[in-house]
Amino acid sequence: MDISKILTDLTLAEKAALLSGSRAWDTAPVERLGIPSVMLTDGPHGLRKQDPAAERFSLHASVPATCFPTAAALGSSWDPDLLLRVGQALGDESLAEGVAVLLGPGVNIKRSPLCGRNFEYLSEDPVVSGHLGAALVRGVQSRGVGASVKHFAANNQETDRMRVSAQVDERTLREIYLAAFEHIVTVAQPWTVMAAYNKVNGVHAAQHPWLLTEVLREEWGFDGLVVSDWGAVSDPVAAVAAGLDLEMPTTNGTSAARLVEAVETGRLDEAVLDRAVRRVLELVDRAARARTGAVVDFERHHALARRAAAESAVLLKNERGILPLDPGADMTVAVIGEFARTPRFQGAGSSLVTPTRVDNALDALIEAAGPHLKVTYSPGFALSGAEDGALRAEAVAAATAADVVVVFLGLPEGEETEGTDREHLGLPGTQLRLLEAVARANRSVVVVLANGGVVETASWDHRARAVLEAWLGGQAGGGAVADLLFGRVNPSGRLAETIPVRLQDNPSYLDFPGSEGIVSYGERLYVGYRYYDAKGLEVAYPFGHGLSYTTFAYSDLDTAVEGQGDDVVVRVRLTLTNTGPVRGREVVQVYVGDPVCSVDRPVRELRAFAKVGLVPGESAPVEFELRARDLSFFHPARGRWTLESGDFEIAVGASSRDLRLTASVAVEAPAYAAPLTLEDPVGQWLGHPEGGPLLREAVQTMEGSGIAHDPDILRMVEALPLSRLVAMGGGRLDTTRIDSFLTGQSA
Ligand code: BGC
């Protein structure tokens, strides 16, 4: 495509028409010039392409596709290679269906466990979200299909999502809510970024010049297309001016008409419109170059979905090694719970996939059981949530007769859907009463959980000897659960989100979901473990936690600092050994803390991780490289990432609360002193390398003043703006040198 030529051939009306969809999922074609339309469709964990044969739009009327584990699950795999492979498979399925852009991954931070869409997001931590999101993007795009990183930005709740303004200070935005997007944009070059529904600090994300142009393009170098979330644009002219390129879905020409009028009346520069048109044409061109005729091996994708689900499940507890169960044993396993037979494997809303097939755990367990292992089944509860005494009694009888009980619990479908948030973290009362009754009948209880957002566990997990968090594991999740329970796969998932003891402990509790169109991110950067650690709060299961059927030893931590300032590299090396009986994979996590800093910082923050597989007795070196950015904070006044000299604490471990090795490293960086003004407090002046001596000298000359000599007086005036000290001195404070310092500073 000769895009520059096409741009000159297009009429203004044609150009404006290219900036919104022609239908629900397609860009506008320009037949006169041979410009085809391309299709963008959901995403993120499977293809949801509207079935062309369906009579009307329905979330359920999509062509069959592999339903991979949801992001809540994949995020818990901590395995970029896995996300790469899932991305490749998603890319192949998109290609085979002629889809140009798959709308995912979703990398919004899990600010509150109540967010109804947390099942579509990866983590409460931007490093996990960024690394895994980038891998998925790379996988999809390796097939010549574009990804769409969404929802940019601060779309962390469903309540009032089209209007609510997330009030977030810049440092928090940069360090928490934008960081995953930044990582993905800079390392994986996504074809598109999707602008969110909500406002950020009062401005619609899809019409936000600072977000869409200054940060995304000018700072991060994004060269792809910005597409609106479906229906996110309220003012198409403001959107294009801000840096949005494509409004979706169609507006039947109304947005185009407004754009034409804005150009004709001089409200919108045609060059700005052309810039967006160019990006749409570039997308169409990229898509046209994709190979066609891809043939999908759905069996292989189903097997990948099963492996992915198994890699993502988190073994929360496993008392006295009740798991794995031996499939060859002579015993009876009572499987209880409707979810064993009717799995919950994905969430509701735009990400709903029509699976090619669905495995259930019950069948998979029966299939994998040896000749002497008897599996019995009782549903235990009805999906409707209605109390059913007969079902419970039957389950209790089965539990009484069994050696081991595996109870499948989870959230009802209606509690996890796009468009609404959850109201509490509890499992349904009927399920908890069932668990209680079953646990009274048999002490050997294993609970398997199906949920996307985390559920409260502290009030009931003492009733189970093992708890396996299997998430919404996709269409092959049932098979994966059987693989894990029978030890064919060793659990290696880790929590990408803290499970709090109570909802009220969550840092966003008082500010979620806000009211009257405003939600204040009052907890600032203290999201998830950053908050629980700062407060020293007990949690049910910490961020990064997950057990294995083997054990790992960490040893020989060695750190080395090379260079300084922006070029600093901290090398972290250690040895990991599989000290247990079986092959397994450990997630080695590296946290960094900066205990002395001019701004408040979380106690420690995840900066790197690696998933390492070892056979029993095997040791392997594990190495990480931390860069200046990993040690820096976003300086609010300076408006840039800032590294301060000092000692940093490097902690390596198996979770945010299971740190096995620590070291302190000294890092050098140029000092930064904020420019001073007369309105800055005396204390700040005194602490300044140049301003301090000048002020000290000036107060010496202040006749009759005790300030220079009396520490008590000095402490009292520390908070006083210097201008006021000058005024109170009534001309006795000689500010000649201070004035010339201020003049020199602003020059
Ligand atoms: C969702 C997006 C989705 C889009 C298209 C919106 O409601 O927020 O995540 O990609 O619809 O279905």
Give the pLDDT of residue 602.
Answer: 98
> Per-residue confidence at 745, pLDDT binned at 50, 70, 90?
confident
Q: Give the CATH number for residue 592.
A: 2.60.40.10
Mean pLDDT taken over the chain: 96
Distance (Å, rounded) from C-alpha 225 to C-alpha 148? 9
C-alpha to C-alpha distance for 692 and 672, rounded to whole angstroms = 15
Residue 268: inside a domain, yes or no?
A: no
Q: What pLDDT, on a 0 to 100 scale, did the predictor assign at position 709?
A: 76
Report which ligand 1 atom has the smallest distance to the Cα of 43: 10
Looking at the structure, tell me whether residues 366 and 456 fall in a common domain: yes
Assess whether pLDDT exceeds 90 at residue 253. yes
pLDDT per position as a tens digit, 25-48: 999 999 999 999 999 999 999 999
What pLDDT score was predicted for residue 597? Answer: 95
Are 124 and 193 in a shared domain?
Answer: yes
State the pLDDT confidence band at 687, using cuts at 50, 70 and 90. Answer: confident
For the chain, the domain total comes to: 4
Nearest CA residue ID for atom 11, ligand 1: 230
CA of 229 to the centre of ligand 1 (A): 6
Q: Is the pLDDT of residue 292 over 90?
A: no
Residue 56: per-residue pLDDT: 75
CA nearest ligand 1 atom 4, residue: 230
CATH code assigned at 242 = 3.20.20.300
In a domain, 261, yes or no: no
Query: Ligand 1 mean position to 230 CA, how many Å?
Result: 6
Distance CA 46, CA 309 (A): 14
Residues contacting ligand 1 via CB (< 6 Å)? 42-43, 103, 150, 229-230, 350
Kindly tell me the burial class for residue 342, based on how many C-beta atoms sit within 10 Å of its own C-beta (0-12, 13-18, 19 or more).
Answer: middle
Instruction: Examine the pLDDT at 391 and tell me if it is beyond 80.
Output: yes
Same domain, 343 and 468: yes
Catalytic residues: 229
Torsions phi, psi for 730 (to 5 deg): 50, 45
Q: Kindly state whether residues 634 and 693 are assigned to the same domain.
A: no
Write the burial class of residue 266 (CB in 10 Å: 0-12 exposed, 13-18 middle, 19+ buried): exposed
Nearest residue to 685 (alpha-carbon basis) of 312, 442, 626, 675? 675
Which of 449, 455, 410 is closest to 431 using CA atoms? 410
- Three-state secondary structure string covering 550-605: CCEEEEEEEEEEECCHHHCEEEEEEEEEECCCCCEEEEEEEEEECCCCCCCCCCCE
Structure letter (DSSP) for residue 549: S
User: What is the whole-number distance in angstroms between the Cα of residue 66 and the centre of ligand 1?
Assistant: 19
Q: Where are the alpha helices (DSSP H) in 193-318?
A: 209, 236-242, 254-264, 270-288, 298-312
Confidence tier at 681 by pLDDT (50, 70, 90)? very high
* Closest to 469 measured CA to CA, from 510, 444, 497, 511: 497
pLDDT confidence of residue 235: 98
Q: 234 and 319 in one domain?
A: no
Among candidate residues 667, 698, 732, the one where a domain is terminated:
667
Confidence of residue 171 (pLDDT cuts 50, 70, 90): very high
Q: What is the pLDDT of residue 54?
A: 81
Residue 253 within any structural domain of the chain:
no
Is residue 423 in a domain? Answer: yes
- DSSP 8-state code for residue 196: P
Q: What pLDDT sits at residue 522? A: 97
**Domain presence at residue 364:** yes
Best residue for ligand 1 mutational test, from 99, 102, 150, 350 (most atoms within 8 Å of Cβ): 350
686 pLDDT higher than 80: yes
CB atoms under 10 Å from CB of 393, counted, come to 12
Rounded Cα–Cα distance for residues 337 and 711 (Å): 71
Q: What is the mean pLDDT of residues 383-391?
A: 93
CA of 309 to the centre of ligand 1 (A): 24
**How many angstroms is it from 156 CA to the middle of ligand 1?**
14
Domain carrying residue 698: 682-746
Q: Verify that 189 and 86 share a domain, yes or no.
A: yes
Closest by Cα among 173, 176, 179, 244 to 205: 244
How big, in percent rounded to 5, are the helix, strand and coil portions of the chain?
A: 35, 25, 45
Q: List the CATH number of the domain containing 416.
A: 3.40.50.1700
Residues 596 and 478 in one domain: no
Beta carbons within 10 angstroms of residue 617's beta carbon: 10
Q: Give the pLDDT confidence score for residue 4 in this predicted structure.
A: 97
Point out the domain boundary residue: 494, 509, 543: 494
Q: Which of 118, 162, 418, 420 to mutate to test the pocket of ligand 1 (most atoms within 8 A of CB)?
A: 418
59 C-alpha vs ligand 1 centroid, how far in Å?
Answer: 11
Please return the burial class of 673, using the count of CB atoms within 10 Å of its CB with bins 0-12, 13-18 and 19+. Answer: middle
- Reported as a single tens digit per residue, the pLDDT across 174-197 is 999 999 999 999 999 999 999 999
pLDDT above 70 covers what percent of the chain?
A: 100
Q: What is the mean pLDDT of residues 411-425?
A: 95
pLDDT in tens, 434-457: 999 999 999 999 999 999 999 999
Residue 689: pLDDT over 80: yes
Q: Can you read off the two tokens belonging to residue 255?
A: 């947005």
**Do residue 686 and residue 661 come from a single domain?**
no
Asked if the model's pLDDT at residue 707 lies above 90, the reply is no
Peptide bond into 249 cis (omega under 30): yes
Q: Are residues 149 and 122 in the same domain?
A: yes
**Distance of CA 418 from the midpoint of ligand 1 (Å):** 9
Among candidate residues 494, 522, 537, the one where a domain is terminated: 494
Percent of the chain topping pLDDT 90: 91
pLDDT digits (tens, 9 = 90+) for 622-665: 999 999 999 999 998 899 999 999 999 999 999 999 999 999 99
Judged against a pLDDT cut of 90, whether residue 104 lies above it is answered with yes
Residue nearest (by alpha carbon) to ligand 1 atom 3? 350
Q: Which residue has its alpha carbon closest to ligand 1 atom 12? A: 350
User: Order of strands across the sheet with 40-42?
Assistant: 40-42, 101-103, 146-152, 192-195, 225-228
| 637 in the same domain as 690 | no
Q: How confident is the model at residue 52 (pLDDT cuts 50, 70, 90)?
A: confident
Q: Are both 454 and 587 inside the same structural domain?
A: no
Which atom of ligand 1 lies at the shortest distance from residue 419's CA? 7
Predicted model pTM: 0.96
Q: Is the pLDDT confidence value at 569 over 90?
A: yes
Predicted local confidence at residue 616, as pLDDT: 98
On whether residue 509 sits in a domain, the answer given is no
Lowest mean pLDDT among 340-349, 399-408, 417-426, 703-712: 703-712
pLDDT tens digit string along 470-503? 999 999 999 999 999 999 999 999 999 999 999 9
* Strand, helix or coil for residue 381: coil
The neighbouring-strand residues paired with 558 are: 573
Residue 149 has pLDDT above 90, yes or no: yes
Residue 360, domain member (yes or no): yes
Q: 508 in a domain, yes or no?
A: no
pLDDT of residue 272 exceeding 90, the answer is yes
Sign of CA dihedral 209, 210, 211, 212: positive
Q: Which of 103, 118, 164 to mutate to test the pocket of ligand 1 (most atoms within 8 A of CB)?
A: 103
The order of strands in the sheet holding 445-450 is 314-318, 466-469, 445-450, 404-410, 331-336, 373-378
Give CA angle at 278 (272, 283), nearest 5°: 135
Does residue 709 share a domain with residue 661? Answer: no
Nearest to 465 by CA among 314, 319, 313: 319
Residue in 229, 246, 420 to alter for ligand 1 test, most ligand atoms within 8 A of Cβ: 229
Q: Which of 383, 317, 315, 289 is nearest to 344 (CA)?
A: 383
Residue whose pair of structure tokens reads 């919004």 in the numeric block: 108
